[in-house]
């Protein structure tokens, strides 16, 4: 049964405005999120100057991926620092990675690795908020994540949500990965279904059985008549003047051929799917490419279980292969399709891990050193930014912080760092206070 029913309430960002709850049978999750998404994107698109579009795919490995055992190994350190893994040559002369990331080693000429990153945080939850916004925690303000800013500044295109999150592996304890002061209209369109599942469908974009696009159209016409009557009773034309546009956009997204096709991974060849890896992460990377190709502007791919306090090495043997296959495959695929120049690919994680292996054969939280990976959008491939000391505990010389990561992302996406947003209480909020990593310009 298709049920579209408007609700009246005051928008927390703009008192007196109306939003609606869209319900399509089993599509309960579509409701507020889709309405907010469309309303925010429409506002963002209004009046924006035409510019060259640079998109972004961000990989978030939740828990804190060890830099020692991936892209910043210390083969000459003592055993309790070096760990159990060996090293392998990369495609960059003189640079070595862990022997458990041969895919990254082969793709090194197409990526840039930041080794002198100080995350300035060592706790889960706060890490998600800090690393995904570039701001330290503030009890009075929740800062927006990168994708929400892009949604606010660029809006949607071709019926696609501007900001999509694949998977639910972002810790929301401190509202990390959300729109913060930009308002819920710019939160990500979240896809929690596994793209590696045999029958992968996205609940919020899949009509219930027996409901055809024609029936959706009929319900829309009926709803329009009811809405006209409700408008007259409410006598609030100033608050309702744009509602038809929002309804139309919502219906268009549900019934859009472009939107439906973007999520249909079965349209990809078996060879392409195998190249990315038949894993949740690999297929998420492939889906991210399809979403960008279809019109989304920012896609976050999330991955879990990197908090390796115990059995670090045996766990990494399971965790690393999907990342080592999927990430390089994504970069190579974008490059082959001519999309890498207009797509920034970033890999971030909570923080680094301790130089010394603990008594449980694990590595603990370590804020002073970690890594970030960039590719595309003019990033010079084959670049190693900075270095850590002989034990990988601290940066040698200059170091970069989360606000510099933010500045780099925004600069590459063409968002001025001096951009200011006015929040609900009237205060102006500057977008970023960092400086772009100059080696990546």
Same domain, 65 and 130: yes
- Domain total for the chain? 2
How many Å apart are CA 161 and CA 62, to the nearest integer? 24
Domain endpoint, select from 219, 236, 262:
262
Q: Is the pLDDT of residue 22 over 60?
A: no
Last residue of a domain, one of 262, 290, 308: 262
As given in the structure block, the two tokens for residue 56 are 């972004």
Judgement on whether residues 414 and 436 belong to the same structural domain of the protein: yes
Choose one of 243, 262, 281: the last residue of a domain.
Answer: 262
- Mean pLDDT for the chain overall: 85
Spatial separation of the C-alpha atoms in residues 164 and 300, rounded to whole Å: 6
Cβ 156 vs Cβ 38: under 8 Å: yes
Co-location of 17 and 43 in the same domain? yes
Q: Are 145 and 285 in contact (CB under 8 A)?
A: no
Least confidently predicted of 36-50, 209-223, 395-409: 36-50
* Cα dihedral across residues 107, 112, 115, 120: positive or negative: negative
Task: Say yes or no: 289 and 366 in one domain.
Answer: yes
Residues 6 or more apart whose CB falls under 8 angstroms from that of 166 comprise 191, 195, 284, 287, 288, 299, 300, 301, 302
| Model pLDDT, residue 208 | 53
The verdict on 353 and 387 lying in the same domain is yes
- For residue 279, which of 197, 192, 351 has the smallest C-alpha distance? 197
Is residue 202 scored above 70 in pLDDT? yes
What are the pLDDT digits (tens) for 209-243?
555 555 555 555 555 555 555 555 454 444 344 34
Lowest mean pLDDT among 130-144, 249-263, 402-416: 249-263
- The pTM score is 0.83
Residue 280 DSSP code: H
Q: Could you tell me if 29 and 116 lie in one domain?
A: no
State how far the Cα of 165 lies from the Cα of 364, in Å rounded to an integer: 28
According to the model, what pLDDT value does residue 225 have?
Answer: 54
| Statement: residue 43 has pLDDT above 50 | no
Residue 317 and residue 173 share a domain: yes
Q: Do 14 and 132 share a domain, yes or no?
A: no
Is residue 254 located within the same domain as residue 175? no
Contact 265, 191 (CB under 8 A): no
DSSP letter string over 195-237?
Answer: TTSTT---GGGSPPTT--HHHHHHHHHHHHHHHHHHHHHHT-H
So what's the pLDDT on residue 256?
Answer: 82
Is residue 178 located within the same domain as residue 216? Answer: no
How many whole angstroms separate alpha carbon 320 and alpha carbon 247? 44
Contact 188, 175 (CB under 8 A): no
Whole domain around residue 237: which residue ranges?
1-47+205-262
Q: What is the pLDDT of residues 315-366, one digit of tens each?
A: 999 999 999 999 999 999 999 999 999 999 999 999 999 999 999 999 999 9
What was the pLDDT predicted at 424? 82
* Predicted local confidence at residue 11, as pLDDT: 35
Based on its alpha-carbon atoms, the radius of gyration of the chain, rounded to whole angstroms, reads 23
Q: Examine the domain organization and report whether 304 and 234 are in the same domain.
A: no
- pLDDT for 171 equals 98
Q: Are residues 381 and 426 in the same domain?
A: yes
Cα-Cα-Cα-Cα dihedral sign, residues 186, 189, 192, 195: negative
What is the DSSP track for 53-100? --EEEEEEETT---STTTTS--TTS-HHHH-S--EEE-SSTT-EEETT
């Amino acid at each position: 049964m298709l049920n579209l029913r408007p609700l009246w309430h005051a928008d927390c960002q703009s008192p007196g405005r109306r939003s609606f709850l869209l319900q399509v049978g089993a599509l309960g999750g579509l409701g507020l999120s889709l309405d907010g998404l469309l309303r925010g994107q429409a506002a963002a698109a209004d009046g924006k100057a035409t510019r060259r579009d640079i998109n972004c795919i961000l990989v978030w490995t939740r828990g804190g991926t060890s830099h020692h055992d991936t892209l910043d190994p210390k083969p000459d350190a003592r055993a309790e620092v070096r760990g159990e893994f060996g090293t392998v040559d990369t495609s960059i002369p003189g640079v070595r990675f862990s022997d458990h990331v041969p895919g990254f080693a082969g793709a090194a000429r197409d990526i840039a690795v930041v080794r002198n990153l100080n995350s300035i945080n060592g706790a889960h939850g706060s890490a998600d908020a800090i690393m995904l916004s570039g701001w330290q925690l503030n009890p009075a303000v929740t800062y927006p994540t990168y994708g929400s800013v892009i949604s606010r500044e660029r809006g949607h295109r071709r019926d696609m949500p501007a900001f999509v999150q694949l998977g639910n592996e972002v810790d929301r304890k401190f509202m990390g990965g959300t729109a913060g002061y930009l308002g819920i209209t710019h939160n990500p369109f979240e896809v929690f279904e596994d793209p590696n599942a045999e029958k992968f469908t996205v609940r919020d974009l899949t009509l219930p059985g027996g409901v055809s696009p024609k029936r959706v159209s009929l319900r829309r016409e009926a709803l329009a008549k009811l809405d006209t009557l409700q408008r007259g009773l409410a006598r609030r034309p100033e608050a309702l003047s744009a509602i038809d546009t929002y309804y139309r956009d919502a219906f268009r997204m549900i019934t859009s051929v472009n939107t439906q096709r973007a999520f249909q991974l079965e349209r990809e060849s078996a060879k392409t799917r195998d190249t990315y890896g038949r894993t949740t992460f690999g297929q998420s990377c492939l889906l991210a490419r399809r979403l960008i190709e279809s019109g989304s502007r920012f896609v976050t791919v999330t991955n879990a279980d990197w908090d390796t306090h115990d059995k670090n090495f045996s766990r990494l043997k399971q965790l690393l292969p999907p990342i080592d296959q999927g990430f390089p495959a994504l970069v190579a695929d974008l490059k082959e399709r001519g999309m890498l120049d207009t797509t920034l690919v970033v890999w971030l994680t909570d923080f680094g891990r301790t130089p010394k292996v603990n008594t449980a054969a694990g590595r603990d939280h370590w804020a002073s050193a970690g890594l970030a990976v960039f590719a595309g959008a003019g990033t010079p491939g084959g670049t190693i930014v900075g270095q850590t000391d002989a034990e990988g505990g601290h940066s040698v010389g200059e170091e970069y912080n989360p606000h510099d990561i933010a500045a780099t992302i925004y600069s590459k996406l063409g968002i001025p760092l001096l951009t200011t947003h006015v929040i609900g209480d009237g205060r102006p909020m500057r977008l970023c206070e960092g400086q772009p990593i100059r080696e990546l310009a």
